[in-house]
Amino acid sequence: MSYTAPIKDMLFAMEHLAHLDQVAQIPGFEDAGLETAQAVLEESAKLCEGVVEPLNIPGDTQPSSFDGGKVTTTPGFKEAYQQFVEGGWQGLQHPAAYGGQGLPKTIGAACVEMLNSSNISFALCPLLTDGAIEALLTAGSDDLKATYLEKLITGEWTGSMNLTEPQAGSDLALVRTRAEPQPDGSYKVFGTKIFITYGEHDMADNIVHLVLARVAGAPEGVKGISLFVVPKFLVNADGSLGARNDVHCVSIEHKMGIKASPTAVLQYGDHGGAVGYLVGEENRGLEYMFIMMNAARYGVGMQGIGVSERAYQRAVQYARDRVQSRPVDGSVAGSATIIHHPDVRRMLMTMRATTEACRAMATTAAAAYDAAHHHPDAEVRKANAEFYEFMVPLVKGYSTEMSLEVTSLGVQVHGGMGFIEETGAAQYYRDAKILTIYEGTTAIQANDLVGRKTARDGGKNAKDIAAHIAKTEEQLRASGTAAAQAMALRLLAAREAFLDVVDFVAGKAKASPNAVYAGSVPYLMLTGNLVAGWQMGRALLVAQDKLAQGEDVAFMQAKVATAQFYAEHILTRTTSLRDSILAGGDSACALALDAF
């Protein structure tokens, strides 16, 4: 069953929720208006639908394989990646100065979603390259930039992020990989890194590993971590490839999903030391790594939205085709397609509303990112940066947690056929489970939301967002329609629940850390739900206006119905989350450790 990129909904979110016209007023983005967006999305859709998506099932059934230090990707991946490179897709959001296309994230994010709807395993390679590019742009020396950036931005070379070691996952303080300074200013790197996505593969000529390591004598913990570039092949002064560096893949993992994406164990320095180059300054590695991480976290959020959209489309198709049982309302005399059954409708609507809401949230966040980085006014940059920082754990955490529910419903809509691998629905369920884990588990996102994003400023930023939501509620109430009233009612309840929890989090994070952090993931889910629902409220207002003008009636009616569904079926969850966060902090940690 083929995939159709939801271009119309993507453009709706860009135009009406993220205000692409305002993004296009930022110097450098003058050409990035709606017409450009539409043209880019249509081109991207061609590549995704026609080339990348057809490789998704083959990637699952013929995963990347490892033999003698080499990784062979799924047949067809190398050629598809070549087309990706030739189309200039890797450089979409990167600076024109280094050969990129310099488009805003507001547009680029939609292309990332499409790529992930088509094939998460494939999309991971560019996602990691993006992270390497961000780190070099931010902290790389002119030399490093000159040597690596252009090839990364064309996609001729790919990037990888090397954080995890067997004993150091979420806890980077435990990193043991070491880097020894050499007389020529380079370093020799020694250690083992695991779970390195696309750490080895055959799709590009070189791989630029960004590696966390300790220089001898560095402080203990995260303050003693530095970031290094370690290329698979050394690069000669003329830019040509030189000797093979001393970093080698020793195995790849056997995973539940994203099987085509090779997850490598990399061994550094077993043959004398891998040549590495310091990025920025010593002992500031974590700071730079967070730049990569934040880009990657947003990207993983898009993966959640992408796989949700794909699961939704497949489920709708099945529900339209499969004939089974008479509708309870008697609307069809005999057996009908299962899309006539209310519970199937509820499942499909849950999938649809969640996906659209998360897309709206992510698109809005992308516009804030663009303004935060490129707006000429420092105040505007600051305000947008604060908003974006608040959004990253939501885009990552909420969109991916919801993708578990959406892909599970996708299997469920298929009934027994969903459990048969050839049907295709099960792969999304298996693939999605990594999304709540890598680039920081949901708990890590929630810690970030609680600590750095809420408690640190006493809940100020959170309450500012709540105030914006209250304005949307007013507009909804003023509009007077039943759908708008319903949305206003549920937004109000959700916002009040949110404010209760913000007070609890900001007020008690220091005095009762266990009680607050036991509620951190529910708080993230409440907040993500609210903020995504808010975007659906804004979307509802726009859709009503358009309907009043007779514009695009079918699409706008669907938007209103989907928004109301979100309000009455998803936003309603927030009050229960509030109750358990406020009441359940102590009971979460009450069981004695030896009683488990």
3-state secondary structure of 510: coil
Taking the C-alpha atoms of residue 454 and residue 274, their distance in angstroms, rounded to an integer, is: 41
- C-alpha pair distances (Å), 447 with each of 299, 452, 523, 526: 19, 8, 10, 14
Contact between 342 and its own copies per CB under 8 A: yes
The Cα 82–Cα 122 span in angstroms is: 12
- Minimum CB distance to its own copies, residue 65 (Å): 15
Token pair for 81: 């990646």
Binding characters for its own copies, 235-254, by CB under 8 A (x = yes): ------------------xx
Site for its own copies in 111-150 (CB under 8 A): none
Q: In this chain, which stretch among 99-107, 210-218, 469-477, 508-516 interacts with its own copies, using CB under 8 A?
A: 508-516
Interface region with its own copies, contact rule CB under 8 A, candidates 49-57, 136-144, 420-428, 471-479: 420-428
Among 129, 226, 520, 527, binds its own copies (CB under 8 A): 520
Residue among 157, 216, 218 nearest 188 (CA): 216
Residue type, 344: V
Lookup result for tokens 């739900």: 529
Nearest distance from residue 501's CB to its own copies, in Å? 13
Neighbours of 339 (CB within 10 A): 18
Binding region for its own copies (CB under 8 A) out of 97-105, 207-215, 366-374, 443-451: 443-451
CA-based nearest residue to 494, from 456, 454, 532, 457? 532
- Chain residues 169-228 in contact with its own copies, contact rule CB under 8 A: 169-171, 173-174, 195
Q: How far is the CB of 356 from its own copies (least distance, A)?
A: 11
| DSSP E strand boundaries for 38-156 | 65-67, 70-72
Contact pattern for its own copies over residues 396 through 415, marking x by CB under 8 A:
--------x---x--xx--x
In the complex, least distance from residue 466 CB atom to its own copies, rounded to whole angstroms: 20
For the CB of residue 92, give the shortest distance to its own copies in the complex, in Å: 29
CB of 398 to its own copies, least distance (A): 15
Binding status of residue 349 toward its own copies by CB under 8 A: yes
What is the smallest separation between the CB atom of 510 and its own copies, expressed in angstroms? 10
Q: Which amino acid does the sequence have at 158? A: T
- Based on the shown chain and the rule CB under 8 A, indicate whether residue 343 belongs to the binding site for its own copies: yes
Instruction: Give residues 264-323 in contact with its own copies (rule: CB under 8 A).
Output: 316, 319-320, 323
CB within 8 Å of 35: residues ≥ 6 apart: none
Give the residue, chosen from 124, 128, 446, 476, that forms a contact with its own copies under the rule CB under 8 A.
Answer: 446
* Complex with its own copies: residue 22 or 479, whichever CB lies closer: 479
Neighbouring residues of 304: CB distance < 8 A, sequence distance ≥ 6: 358, 396, 399, 400, 401, 402, 403, 432, 435
Please count the other Cβ atoms lying within 10 Å of the Cβ belonging to residue 478.
10
What amino acid positions are annotated as catalytic residues? 439
Chosen residue from 19, 284, 345, 373 binding its own copies by CB under 8 A: 345
If one asks whether residue 501 binds its own copies (CB under 8 A), the answer comes out as no
Binds its own copies by CB under 8 A, chosen from 46, 271, 346, 468: 346
Two structure tokens written together for 388: 């974006």
Closest CA to 559 of 360, 308, 306, 311: 360
Among 190, 517, 540, 541, binds its own copies (CB under 8 A): 517
57 binds its own copies (CB under 8 A): no
Region binding its own copies by CB under 8 A among candidate stretches 76-84, 175-183, 296-304, 558-566: 558-566
| Cα–Cα dist 313/558, whole Å | 15
Residue whose structure tokens are 């931005």: 153
Q: Which is nearer to its own copies, 436 or 527 (CB)?
A: 436
Q: Give 66's contacts (C-beta < 8 A, 6+ positions apart).
A: 72, 249, 251, 252, 262
- 479 near its own copies (CB under 8 A): no
Q: Report if residue 568 touches its own copies, rule: CB under 8 A.
A: yes
Residue 230 touches its own copies, criterion: CB under 8 A: no
In total, the chain counts a number of residues equal to 596
Question: Binding of its own copies at residue 507 (CB under 8 A)?
Answer: no
CA distances from 462 to 18, 129, 205, 506 (A): 19, 32, 46, 10
Candidates 65, 83, 167, 549: give the one binding its own copies (CB under 8 A). Answer: 167
User: Closest distance between its own copies and the C-beta of residue 429, in Å?
Assistant: 7
Would you state the structure tokens that stand for residue 384, as one six-digit string? 């947008």
Regarding 394 and contact with its own copies (CB under 8 A), the answer is no
Q: Which residues in 536-555 contact its own copies (CB under 8 A)? A: 554
Phi/psi of residue 212, each to 5°? Answer: -85, 130
User: In whole angstroms, how close is the CB of 88 to its own copies at the nearest point?
Assistant: 32
Q: How many alpha carbons lie under 13 Å from residue 333 in its C-beta half-sphere?
A: 0
Tokens 């993004």: give the residue. 23
449 to 345, 445, 454: CA distances (angstroms): 34, 6, 6
The single residue among 381, 433, 463, 477 that binds its own copies, judged by CB under 8 A, is: 433
Q: Which span sits near its own copies by CB under 8 A: 70-78, 160-168, 202-210, 543-551?
A: 160-168
Cα separation, 344 vs 414, in Å, equals 10
